[in-house]
Structures are given as C-alpha cells and as structure tokens.
C-alpha cells in the first residue's frame, strides 16, 4: 500500500488537525488507516462516499474537546487497504470491531455518515455489547426498500438539485457496474465530485476547492474507484443480512438532511427502539460542511447531556 507524501497525503493533512495523529493497524486481515485525538469517552467516526477521514475536519477538533475522537478510513477508503472482497457491511463492521479490540476499548460511541452510517448500523446490529450510543447521519443500513428506488426519475424531479420528495440517486445504479466506472473516471474523478456536490448540497460552495482536491486525489486511481463501488455492489448481501437482525436497544440518533430526513424518520423506527430523529432541513447531504455547528450541538447533546 502506498503512503505518499504530497499535499493531500495523510501526513500532510493531519497537520491541519492540531492534537490528532495518524495511525495504521492491521485488523481482520486488512490494514486500516485512522486518526485519533482528544480525550474522554471514545467516539468512533466513520466517513462516507466519496470522502475520507478528512471529511470530519469541520467537526473533529470541537468534538475532541469532549471525546477521544477516532476517525477511521473504512475498508477500501483513502489509504486503508483495498482488497478484492469483504465490502458487505457485516465484514466491514468486523474490521471496526477488531480495531476497537486492538485499541483496548471495552465500549465506544459510534457515528457514521452515508456509507459510514451503514457500517455503523451493521456494527450495532452485530456487536451491540461494544456500543454505547449510535449516531447515523444521512445513512441507514441497506434494506429491501432500496429495491423500490426508481431507474427513471419522475417527471420534473431531476433538476440541478436533488428533490427531497422524490430523490433520484442515479449513482446507486452506476456504482453497481463492474469495471466500467474506473475506466471512465480514473484521473478525472473531480468531474463526478463537482456534479455530486452541486446536486446534493444546498450550498456547494461550503465544499472548498481544497476539500475537492483531497477527495479527487483519494479516488482518482482505478483501484480506489473499484473498492468504493464495491460498497454499493454488496448491498444485495447487506439486505439479506438485514433480515436476520433484531431491533436495536441502545440509544440511537438519526440526523437527516433535507434529502434524507423524511426517509430516516419513516425507516429508523423499524430497527431502533430507543430513537430520536432530527432534521437539518437547511443542509444537503454533506452536513459537516454545510452545518457543522448544528451537527456538533446535536452530537454533544445526545452523547453527554441527554442521559438515557
């Protein structure tokens, strides 16, 4: 695995996070990169597509005032290893469990955004004894509801911005295709990023040019595209696994943007007994960038002030 020293390398980026350090660990047969900083109860943070650990930069240092923040590049992400298999969320949750054990933690809070939210929920389903409280942001475990997503958008709903009532997530299908996306996107991943950020954010200027370069650098290689698309190609297995899970007992907080809040409010009660769902209707999908302060407030309130 390459660990290059350039402007967008882990070694350079971590300099923008005072008090945090880079770490690497081989767990469950795969090498994962993670960063850690702060002190207090451990808070495991899992990023989503198409981002990396760096996506937590708007909120990590503030959270580190209250918690030991551990942001993990999940299997296939950033400078973590990108094996040929193991992208079902149950296996990826087992990666995180092995890391938690290696770090000597008995229990941890966990939050995940997007794909990271899917992995966090899988962790909660499979290893509830290791989790104190769970936070999912614009991401829930794959379920059979995904099979009802439209192939063709409803008339008038597919515009420059994602429609909150009838969202058209075309990349769910595109990312299912094997071998082709990496040929189309290698070396030009910024084209997808720029389109996606404009489409799913209310104010995509909140995603800085530097941030875009960080993620383009992380996903430009064909291996990275193949690995990240594997998260989506495993959804069929994830859906099958979901049929075996029991309702979650631990406290769960769902935070939804304008594109996901209604769906999270409808879906999460089926899988979590002790649940709060809040909407950030003035934010698109990338809430850390668009509304960092409300995210921080919601997370800290849930984990510290609200005792269940």
Burial, 7: exposed, middle or buried (Cβ in 10 Å; 0-12, 13-18, 19+)? exposed
In this prediction, residue 99 carries a pLDDT of 98
- Residue environment code for 86-114, b if the CB has 16+ CB neighbours within 10 A, otherwise e: bbbbbbbbbbbbbbbeebeeeebbbbbbb
Residue 306 has pLDDT above 60, yes or no: no
Q: What is the DSSP letter of 204?
A: G
Q: Is the dihedral of CA 197, 200, 202, 206 positive or negative?
A: negative
In this prediction, residue 5 carries a pLDDT of 57
Tell me the pLDDT tens digit for each residue of 70-99.
999 999 999 999 999 999 999 999 999 999
* φ, ψ at 27 (rounded to 5°): -140, 140
Angle at Cα 75 formed by Cα 34 and Cα 178, nearest 5°?
145
Residue 3 has pLDDT above 70, yes or no: no
Taking the C-alpha atoms of residue 110 and residue 45, their distance in angstroms, rounded to an integer, is: 6
Residue 289 has pLDDT above 70, yes or no: yes
CATH for 10-305 (3.30.70.980, 3.40.50.1820, 3.60.20.10, 3.40.50.300): 3.40.50.1820
Taking the C-alpha atoms of residue 108 and residue 114, their distance in angstroms, rounded to an integer, is: 20
Q: What is the mean pLDDT of residues 42-51?
A: 98
Mean pLDDT score across all residues of the chain: 96
Q: What is the mean pLDDT of residues 43-52?
A: 98
Residue 1 has pLDDT above 50, yes or no: no
In this prediction, residue 10 carries a pLDDT of 97
Give, rounded to a whole angstrom, the gap between the first and last alpha carbons of the chain. 43
Tell me the pLDDT tens digit for each residue of 125-184.
999 999 999 999 999 999 999 999 999 999 999 999 999 999 999 999 999 999 999 999
Q: Which residues contact 101 (CB under 8 A, 6 or more apart)?
A: none
For the chain, where are the E strands, in sequence order? 20-27, 30-37, 41-46, 67-72, 108-113, 131-137, 252-257, 275-280
Other C-beta atoms lying within 10 Å of the C-beta of residue 14? 17
Helix axis angle, 209-219 to 189-200, nearest 10°: 130
In this prediction, residue 4 carries a pLDDT of 47
Q: What is the DSSP letter of 46?
A: E
Q: What is the mean pLDDT of residues 3-30?
A: 92
pLDDT band at 2 (very low <50, low <70, confident <90, very high): very low
- Spans of all domains in the chain: 10-305
């Amino acid at each position: 695995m390459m660990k290059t020293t350039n402007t967008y390398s882990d070694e350079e980026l971590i300099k923008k996070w005072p008090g945090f350090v880079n770490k690497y660990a081989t767990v469950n047969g795969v090498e994962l990169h993670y960063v850690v900083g702060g002190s207090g109860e451990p808070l495991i943070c899992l990023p989503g597509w198409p981002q990396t650990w760096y996506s937590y930069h708007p909120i990590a240092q503030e959270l580190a005032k209250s918690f030991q923040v551990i942001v993990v590049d999940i299997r296939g992400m950033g400078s973590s290893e990108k094996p040929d298999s193991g992208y079902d969320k149950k296996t990826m949750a087992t990666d995180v469990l092995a890391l938690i054990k290696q770090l000597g933690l008995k229990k941890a809070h966990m939050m995940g955004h997007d794909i990271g939210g899917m992995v966090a929920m899988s962790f909660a389903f499979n290893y509830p004894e290791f989790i104190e409280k769970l936070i999912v942001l614009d991401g829930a475990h794959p379920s059979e509801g995904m099979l009802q997503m439209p192939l063709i958008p409803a008339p008038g709903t597919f515009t420059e911005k994602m429609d909150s009532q009838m969202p058209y997530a075309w990349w769910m299908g595109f990312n299912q295709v094997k071998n082709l996306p990496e040929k189309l996107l290698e070396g030009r991943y910024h084209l997808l990023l720029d389109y996606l950020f404009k489409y799913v954010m209310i104010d995509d200027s909140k995603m800085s040019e530097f941030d875009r370069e960080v993620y383009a650098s992380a996903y430009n290689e064909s291996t990275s595209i193949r690995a990240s698309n594997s998260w989506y190609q495993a959804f069929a297995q994830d859906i099958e696994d979901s049929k075996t899970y029991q309702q979650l007992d631990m406290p769960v907080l769902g935070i939804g943007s304008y594109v996901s809040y209604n769906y999270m409010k409808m879906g999460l009660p089926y899988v979590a007994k002790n649940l709060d769902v809040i909407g950030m209707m003035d934010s698109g999908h990338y809430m850390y960038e668009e509304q960092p302060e409300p995210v921080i407030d919601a997370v800290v309130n849930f984990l510290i002030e609200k005792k269940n």
